Chains A and B, each alone.
Chain A
Amino acid sequence: MLLVRDLSFHFGKRVVFRDLSFSLEKGCFAFLTGPSGSGKTTLLRLLHGSLPLMGGQAVVAGHDLARIRPTQLCQLRRDVSVVFQDFKILLDRTVYENVALPLVVRGMPKVRLERRVQSVLIALRLAEAADRPCAELAGGEQQRVAIARAVVAGPKLMLADEPTGNLDWALALRLLDIFRQFSAHGTAILMATHNRELVAAAPDAMVIRLDGGEADPGGFDVGAAAEGDGSEETA
């Protein structure tokens, strides 16, 4: 589902990461960890086609990023969805409109679209808020809208960039549970976080650790992740 080999990226003279290699299979759940500035967000942006490949190889949901053309990026983004810490939802639109957006841009017939959106809204306990503008929702609800939008089209891979960063612990755990459920249904998930408690809460998950960046005493602790049963890859 995701193959990264000898991947390197730099902003000007500053190397963000070098010779990064890992792979994710279908339905795999993995944490992407590392201190602030270690390149977690950069890697996710790169895997989503928002940044150009500078060195190495990355095959994402069957799309070779070294060969992908700008006009093919929309196809990549239909197979790979993203969830951000700041949600990136349309606040003036309703929950239903936000969740339906990926299907609307695909031109899905209305009946199928409605059925699909309804089932996702029910799964994420958003059905009652379907007609409410997202601006009226609480942070946790907005995050669930972002997740609902990410999963509604059945992506092969989901990239989540600190999706629990703005949530309290109880909500973060619930969100983790939702991600695990989707992972169990076959969607590979790569979740960036520097929250060690969250990583510890999913001991069977794979952990990909990025070195570099600034020392962050309040952030991720490598030792905590190593205590889990999940495999760990270090870049």
Chain B
Amino acid sequence: MIGRLALLGILDVLRRPWSLTATVAGVAVTVFLGGLFALAATAVDGAFANGRGQAQFQIYWKVGADAGLTARQMDWMRALPGVVEARAFTPEQALAVMRQSLGKGADLTFPAAGQNPLPATMLLAFRLPPGNEAFAREMYGRLAAVEGVGEVRFNPLAVDVAQSVGFVGRRIALPLAAILALLVALVVGHTVRLSLLRRREEMEILRLVGATEGYICGPFVSGSAFVGLLGGVAAIGLLKFVQAAVAEALNVPPLWLTLPFLSGGLVTLFILGTTATAALAGYVAVVESRS
């Protein structure tokens, strides 16, 4: 009986494709906006988690440095104690990345034909040993002294600021997320409830012909839950699309920022939360129609 009523509710919703599309779109956009916040928070959290307790160095070799020697120096750097991440680019690789970034139409011919003006470069991240505050400065000196290295960039202030911002961010992220979740739930709930207002007469007619409250409630709750489920899935699909597009744009030099997608748990929470909120809105609409 419950399954039949649930199916009835879904069929009722499918009977009105335009109304369904409008409601699902409203729910999806709201959840999408909430998801964007979660995506940004996840990315920032990940970035700060990665940066915490680490020192990063960007090493540039001189243009025209001996390729064989540079490769051996890169291997030596990778083997240094405390290295947690090492990403190296030969001048050819750097040029290829630049071509990819600028597109095929970009003019990358150089005055000195055949000579690549880009230097070899390497990004090195070290885990800072506890209690050794001089480690970063000493490492800077060692890297800058390597033969053929033209420049080493290291900004300890940026690391400190990032850590501080990350700390504050973590403090306010949870309450902000809770407020946003409430806001999304309210908007989703009202969107679904408003979509059911035009079906108020249907509820009234069902009561007139002797339907029990359970019989009236079942299809409306299941239909609303179905709308919420569609909206949640559509929002997550849209988020995945945006994340893939933005992540690709951010993961290029000099940014090299990674934008991970929401965790499986968060995705499930978004979809189930939207479905449950919509179902609750459907129930509220039925209860309201009694008056």
- Residue numbers in A under 8 Å from B210 (CB-CB): 74-75, 77-78, 102, 105-106, 153
Q: A105 touching B15 by the CB < 8 A rule?
A: no
The interface stretch among B30-38, B43-51, B211-219 is B211-219
- Residue numbers in A under 8 Å from B211 (CB-CB): 74, 105
A172 to B212, CA, bound (A): 33
Whether, in the assembled complex, A149 has its beta carbon less than 8 Å from a beta carbon of chain B, the answer is yes
A59 to B274, CA, bound (A): 46
Select which of A48, A82, A90 is within 8 A of B202 by beta carbon.
A90
Whether, in the assembled complex, B172 has its beta carbon less than 8 Å from a beta carbon of chain A, the answer is no
Q: B205 touching A105 by the CB < 8 A rule?
A: no
A110 to B213, CA, bound (A): 22
Given contacts A88-B201, A90-B202, contact A102 B213 (CB under 8 A): no
- Residue numbers in A under 8 Å from B212 (CB-CB): 74, 105
Task: Bits for B5-42, please: 1 = Cβ < 8 Å to A, else 0.
Answer: 00000000001100000000000000000000000000
Whether, in the assembled complex, A81 has its beta carbon less than 8 Å from a beta carbon of chain B, the answer is yes
Given contacts A71-B213, A74-B211, A92-B15, contact A105 B204 (CB under 8 A): no
- Residue numbers in A under 8 Å from B213 (CB-CB): 71, 74
Q: A88 touching B207 by the CB < 8 A rule?
A: no
Q: B15 touching A77 by the CB < 8 A rule?
A: no
- Residue numbers in B under 8 Å from A74 (CB-CB): 207, 210-213
A81 to B208, CA, bound (A): 7
Whether, in the assembled complex, B134 has its beta carbon less than 8 Å from a beta carbon of chain A, the answer is no
Whether, in the assembled complex, B206 has its beta carbon less than 8 Å from a beta carbon of chain A, the answer is yes
Q: Is the interface of B mostly helix, strand, loop or mixed?
A: helix
- Residue numbers in A under 8 Å from B206 (CB-CB): 101, 105
A106 to B204, CA, bound (A): 16
A153 to B210, CA, bound (A): 10
Task: Bits for A44-76, please: 1 = Cβ < 8 Å to B, else 0.
Answer: 000010000000000000000000000101110
Given contacts A71-B213, A105-B215, contact A88 B15 (CB under 8 A): no
Q: A101 touching B205 by the CB < 8 A rule?
A: yes
- A78: nearest residue on chain B (CB-CB)? B210
**What is the CB-to-nearest-CB distance from B44 to chain A, in angstroms, rounded to a whole number?**
48
Task: Bits for B177-214, please: 1 = Cβ < 8 Å to A, else 0.
Answer: 00000000000000000000000011011111111110
Interface members, chain A 185-210 (any B CB < 8 Å)? none
A101 to B202, CA, bound (A): 11
- Residue numbers in B under 8 Å from A149 (CB-CB): 209
Question: How many A-B contacts if CB must be within 8 Å?
Answer: 41
Select which of A48, A71, A89, A153 is within 8 A of B205 by beta carbon.
A89
- Residue numbers in B under 8 Å from A153 (CB-CB): 209-210
A74 to B290, CA, bound (A): 13
**What is the CB-to-nearest-CB distance from B217 to chain A, in angstroms, rounded to a whole number?**
12
| Most chain B CB atoms below 10 A, which of A71, A102, A105, A149 | A105
Q: A77 touching B208 by the CB < 8 A rule?
A: yes
A75 to B202, CA, bound (A): 19
**What is the CB-to-nearest-CB distance from B196 to chain A, in angstroms, rounded to a whole number?**
15
A90 to B207, CA, bound (A): 13
- A83: nearest residue on chain B (CB-CB)? B208
**What is the CB-to-nearest-CB distance from B16 to chain A, in angstroms, rounded to a whole number?**
8
**What is the CB-to-nearest-CB distance from B14 to chain A, in angstroms, rounded to a whole number?**
13
- A152: nearest residue on chain B (CB-CB)? B209
A77 to B215, CA, bound (A): 14
Q: List the interface of chain B (C-beta within 8 A of A).
A: 15-16, 201-202, 204-213, 215
Q: List the interface of chain A (C-beta within 8 A of B).
A: 48, 71, 73-75, 77-78, 81-82, 88-90, 92, 101-102, 105-106, 149, 153
User: 5 closest A-B pairs (Cβ-Cβ)?
Assistant: A78-B210, A105-B211, A102-B209, A77-B210, A74-B212
Given contacts A48-B208, A88-B208, 20 further A-B contacts (CB under 8 A): A74-B211, A74-B213, A77-B208, A77-B210, A78-B210, A81-B208, A81-B209, A82-B208, A90-B205, A92-B15, A101-B206, A101-B209, A102-B209, A105-B206, A105-B209, A105-B210, A105-B211, A105-B212, A106-B210, A153-B210
Question: What would 10 A/B residue contacts be, using CB atoms closer than 8 Å?
Answer: A74-B207, A74-B210, A75-B210, A77-B208, A81-B209, A88-B201, A88-B204, A90-B202, A92-B15, A105-B206
